[in-house]
Amino acid sequence: MKARRQAPPSIQRARWGRNLAASPALSRGLPGGRGWKTGSKQKRGGARGPVMEENPDPGEERQPCSVSVVLQGDGALQVEISDAVSERDKVKFTVHTKSCLPHFSQTEFSVVRQHEEFIWLHDAYTDNEDYAGIIIPPAPPKPDFEASREKLQRLGEGDSSVTREEFAKMKQELEGEYLAIFKKTVAMHEVFLQRLATHPTLRRDHNLYVFLEYGQDLSVRGKNKKELFGGFIRNIVKSADEALITGVSGLKEVDEFFEHERTFLLEYHTRIRDACLRADRVMRSHKCLAEDYIPISAALSSLGTQEVHQLKTSFLKLAELFERLRKLEGRVASDEDLKLSDMLHYYMRDAQAAKDLLYRRLRALVDYENANKALDKARMRNREVRAAETHQQLCCRRFEHLSDSAKHELMDFKARRGSAFRKNLIELAELELKHAKASTLLLRNTLIALKGEP
């Protein structure tokens, strides 16, 4: 099929397959029953996050990546990414929808979408004034295989000091990494859609329907210069908003709740971003550590084949031990990545979305205040009072509506955060325990074997 540039022949096309039919649905919390597949056991009843089923790797018992979102839905609109194909540097997602809503012409259909189209959808939401009071689910990050690709290339260029087995192992590692990144990006995109689909207000957007159903390419080109510039301007505006939100402009916040939320979110966002970076670093060191075991194991096994007597079996056993330890460490690293890093990343983006909500609200407040002032002025001058009044009332209503919705959303955000963290931390702890126990067992066995020998 389409080959990836510079890819080793084994990875030309990675697929994200979904077995639509059989597997035991996880969906105890989701009425309607189908749609989410699970590969792992879920501990909580009630609404639970979607879990990916992975293309089963025979030797590995990798935990499926679980994105830290807990959704409630009424099943009227179910969306999932049933397939994904990576070609060159693009990923094509197959979005599968099942719905009994009248808007759609069929009850079940699929379209192929690319990352840019997801971004388009996201922007459509953020630009829409109607949704100003809602935390828009953060856009999925662009699929980034750059790092992985570089590594593969470097490996391919070859290092003569590396033996064939080592090379094979490293290649395997890298392929695993590539696959993991691939899975993650699919998960991110899926969660984005699912949050949209389950949100009572957002799901009713026309753009969403277009996105889900329109068979042709949405011809969303990548942003051209003008739009990029526009985005740049928007960022500037945003930083003005930041000033606003940090109270520099002297705007008085009357509502205690929002005052609290504001300070909280600001701080939280910076700290979670910090934590993200550091968690990433931990994960990377862990991976390096796991990879270090490869040459050790190789050297030990070559020592073992060389030796002629007792040490031989010891060496070979040690080589095996390190090989297995490597796999375990690798799994610890990837689990940490999934449960901790990913979660932190997602909530960082979500926190950013919440902050955006607050900006919008504050802007509405500013508008409201301005409208008040305008009204006063108009009353003073006794001109265009009616217009000013209506305007002011509009602003007021808008502001209040926004505030209500924002309050609701923020509390929801908190609850969502709590449960997602809970779930992931529990899973993280359990996985770490599992791996530590497995390592201990492995080490103990090897110790026994070593000691037992003369």
Partner 1 sequence: MAAEREPPPLGDGKQADFEELEDGEDLFTSTVSTLESSPSSPEPASLPAEDLSTNSNGPKPAEIILDDDREDLFAEATEEVSLDSPEREPILSPEPSPAITPITPTTLMAPRIESKSMSAPVIFDRSRDEIEEEANGDVFDIEIGVSDPEKVGDGMNAYMAYRVTTKTSLSMFNKNEFSVKRRFSDFLGLHSKLATKYLHVGYIVPPAPEKSIVGMTKVKVGKEDSSSTEFVEKRRAALERYLQRTVKHPTLLQDPDLRQFLESSELPRAVNTQALSGAGILRMVNKAADAVNKMTIKMNESDAWFEEKQQQFENLDQQLRKLHASVEALVCHRKELSANTAAFAKSAAMLGNSEDHTALSRALSQLAEVEEKIDQLHQEQAFADFYVFSELLSDYIRLIAAVKGVFDHRMKCWQKWDDAQITLQKKREAEAKMMLANKPDKIQQAKNEIREKERVKDFKTVIIKYLESLVQTQQQLIKYWEAFLPEAKAIA
Q: Are strands 90-99 and 77-87 parallel, antiparallel or unpaired?
A: antiparallel
Site string for partner 1, 424-453 (x = CB under 8 A): -xx-xxx-xx--xx-xx--xx-xx--xx--
Partner residues linked to 114 by β-bridges:
92
- Closest distance of CB 431 from partner 1, Å: 9
Q: In 199-255, where does DSSP find H-type helix?
A: 206-213, 225-245
Residue 237: count of CB within 10 angstroms of its CB: 12
Q: Does 65 bind partner 1 (CB under 8 A)?
A: no
Q: Does 403 bind partner 1 (CB under 8 A)?
A: no
Count of residues near partner 1 by CB under 8 A: 58
- Closest distance of CB 404 from partner 1, Å: 20
Residue 100 or 443: the one with the smaller Cβ distance to partner 1 is: 443
Closest Cα to residue 87, out of 11, 176, 175?
11
Q: What kind and span of H or E run contains 116?
A: helix 115-127
- Closest distance of CB 177 from partner 1, Å: 17
Q: In 307-384, where does DSSP find H-type helix?
A: 310-335, 343-381
- Closest distance of CB 58 from partner 1, Å: 26
| CA gap 46, 27 in Å, rounded | 9
Per the CB < 8 A criterion, the answer to whether 114 and 90 are in contact is: yes
Per the CB < 8 A criterion, the answer to whether 310 and 454 are in contact is: yes
Residue 60 or 274: the one with the smaller Cβ distance to partner 1 is: 274
Among 168, 233, 288, 387, binds partner 1 (CB under 8 A): 288
Among 274, 376, 400, 404, binds partner 1 (CB under 8 A): 274
Segment near partner 1 (CB under 8 A); pick from 145-153, 222-230, 310-318, 354-362:
310-318
Residue 202 or 333: the one with the smaller Cβ distance to partner 1 is: 333
- Closest distance of CB 419 from partner 1, Å: 8
Q: For residue 206, what are its two tokens?
A: 């026309």
- Closest distance of CB 268 from partner 1, Å: 5
Q: Does 275 bind partner 1 (CB under 8 A)?
A: yes
Per the CB < 8 A criterion, the answer to whether 46 and 29 are in contact is: yes
Beta sheet of 77-87, edge-to-edge order: 77-87, 90-99, 108-114
Q: Does 168 bind partner 1 (CB under 8 A)?
A: no
| CA gap 155, 144 in Å, rounded | 19
| CA gap 437, 129 in Å, rounded | 53
Q: Does 355 bind partner 1 (CB under 8 A)?
A: no
Q: Does 233 bind partner 1 (CB under 8 A)?
A: no
| CA gap 80, 98 in Å, rounded | 9
Among 300, 357, 375, 378, binds partner 1 (CB under 8 A): 300
> Which residues, 323 to 352, sit near partner 1 by CB under 8 A?
325
Q: For residue 201, what are its two tokens?
A: 């207000």
- Closest distance of CB 257 from partner 1, Å: 11
Q: For residue 252, what are its two tokens?
A: 């008085």
Among 142, 281, 379, 401, binds partner 1 (CB under 8 A): 281
- Closest distance of CB 168 from partner 1, Å: 17
Instruction: Fill in the amino acid letter for 292.
Output: D
- Closest distance of CB 395 from partner 1, Å: 30
- Closest distance of CB 438 from partner 1, Å: 9
Residue with tokens 């909580």: 44
Q: Does 167 bind partner 1 (CB under 8 A)?
A: no
| CA gap 359, 265 in Å, rounded | 11
| CA gap 352, 319 in Å, rounded | 47
Residues at the contact surface with partner 1, assessed by CB under 8 A: 161, 264, 267-268, 271-272, 274-275, 278-279, 281-282, 284-286, 288-289, 292-293, 295-296, 299-300, 302-303, 306, 308-311, 314, 318, 321, 325, 414, 417-419, 421-422, 425-426, 428-430, 432-433, 436-437, 439-440, 443-444, 446-447, 450-451, 454
